[in-house]
Amino acid sequence: MIRQSLEQQAWSWLDSELDRWREAGLVAEFWWRDDDAVSPSAELERLLELSARLELPLALAVIPAALKPGLAPRLRDESRVSVLQHGYAHRNNAAAGELKLEIGGERPPARLLQDLRRGRAILDDGFGETFIPVLVPPWNRVDAGLFESLPPIGIRGISTTKARPQEFAAPGLRQANTHLDPIGWRHGGGFLGHYPAVAVLIQHLLARRLGYRDRGEPTGILTHHLVQNPATWSFVEDLLARIKRHDAARVVGAAEIWRE
């Protein structure tokens, strides 16, 4: 009983924030990114079904070196789905004791760029126009010293986490991050909870609306179809449906964010 009322409070808090956007004559844009896809699976079906049922665009970050042959054919007729590049092999290159990262750390920059170029070619071949050359660094961490080297190898976007400092991380490299990850990774990998999750969303929406943060950056919702528990799935579904219903909110696709 109490839990249900807390859930409802969290949702009405979100609705109120979106109502403020409407009153200001604004539309809050959102986008949806899901990480770690490599092959068809029951969990992927669940994700695609949700995107189809809600008619919402979905950006799937695929790990190039781990890609299995079945994924590209499975996505061929899914016109709402875009594919982004999730690093190269989701391998940890961080020095011992450092936070995990693939695109940086102890691997030399020239080798990292070679990995990324190879990964880009794999996704280009596999997915054609469904693939948008945007780098989603594994663990949302990347050596920013590499940014300027990415557009020359054909990567025109970057997506990590938290409010972006500016629209372009480097010339030709547009950034759009994710802001809410509803999984409590540090608490066993279950659902973070309605209140904490909605609070994170509101924080970004409010900062955008008041102009403390770049209003043009869509608020990003990050999901992980392979590891979400039922509570997280149910939250994601409710959240997306609620956003879709509100007339001052709109979910944009990766192709629109990273238009050329």
Q: Rounded to the nearest whole angstrom, what is the least distance from the CB of residue 221 to Zn ion in the complex?
A: 15
Cβ-in-10-Å burial (0-12, 13-18, 19+) of 208 comes to: buried
Instruction: Please tell me whether residue 37 adopts helix, strand or coil conformation.
Output: strand
Cβ-contact 86, 36 below 8 angstroms: yes
Q: Rounded to the nearest whole angstrom, what is the least distance from the CB of residue 101 to Zn ion in the complex?
A: 11
Question: 17, 29, 34, 35: which one contacts Zn ion (CB under 5 A)?
Answer: 35
Residue 138 interacting with Zn ion (CB under 5 A): yes
- A 10 A CB-CB count for 86 gives 29
Query: Which residue is associated with the tokens 């969990």?
Result: 43
Q: Rounded to the nearest whole angstrom, what is the least distance from the CB of residue 89 to Zn ion in the complex?
A: 11
Q: Rounded to the nearest whole angstrom, what is the least distance from the CB of residue 140 to Zn ion in the complex?
A: 8
Q: Rounded to the nearest whole angstrom, what is the least distance from the CB of residue 90 to Zn ion in the complex?
A: 6
Cβ-contact 196, 207 below 8 angstroms: no
Q: Which stretch binds Zn ion (CB under 5 A): 99-107, 113-121, 134-142, 158-166?
A: 134-142
> Closer CB to Zn ion, residue 54 or residue 116?
116
> Closer CB to Zn ion, residue 3 or residue 186?
186
**Which of 19, 75, 18, 28 is closest to 52 using CA atoms?**
75
Q: CA–CA separation, 90 vs 87, rounded Å? A: 6
Residue 36 interacting with Zn ion (CB under 5 A): yes
Q: Could you tell me how many residues of this chain bind Zn ion (CB under 5 A)?
A: 3
Q: Which two tokens stand for residue 151?
A: 């557009």
Cβ-Cβ contacts under 8 Å for 140 (sequence gap 6 or more):
160, 161, 178
Q: CA–CA separation, 93 vs 247, rounded Å? A: 44
Handedness of CA 184, 246, 54, 257 (dihedral sign): negative
Q: CA–CA separation, 116 vs 120, rounded Å? A: 6
DSSP state of 100: P
Q: Which stretch binds Zn ion (CB under 5 A): 20-28, 33-41, 66-74, 227-235?
A: 33-41
> Closer CB to Zn ion, residue 29 or residue 35?
35
> Which of the residues 191 through 220 are near Zn ion (CB under 5 A)?
none
Q: Which stretch binds Zn ion (CB under 5 A): 95-103, 130-138, 173-181, 237-245?
A: 130-138
> Closer CB to Zn ion, residue 136 or residue 243?
136
> Closer CB to Zn ion, residue 138 or residue 218?
138
Helix (H) or strand (E) holding 174: strand 173-175
Q: Which stretch binds Zn ion (CB under 5 A): 27-35, 145-153, 181-189, 249-257?
A: 27-35
> Closer CB to Zn ion, residue 21 or residue 127?
127
Q: Rounded to the nearest whole angstrom, what is the least distance from the CB of residue 36 to Zn ion in the complex?
A: 4
> Closer CB to Zn ion, residue 29 or residue 36?
36
Instruction: Please tell me whether residue 85 adopts helix, strand or coil conformation.
Output: strand
Q: Rounded to the nearest whole angstrom, what is the least distance from the CB of residue 223 to Zn ion in the complex?
A: 11
Which positions touch Zn ion (CB under 5 A)? 35-36, 138
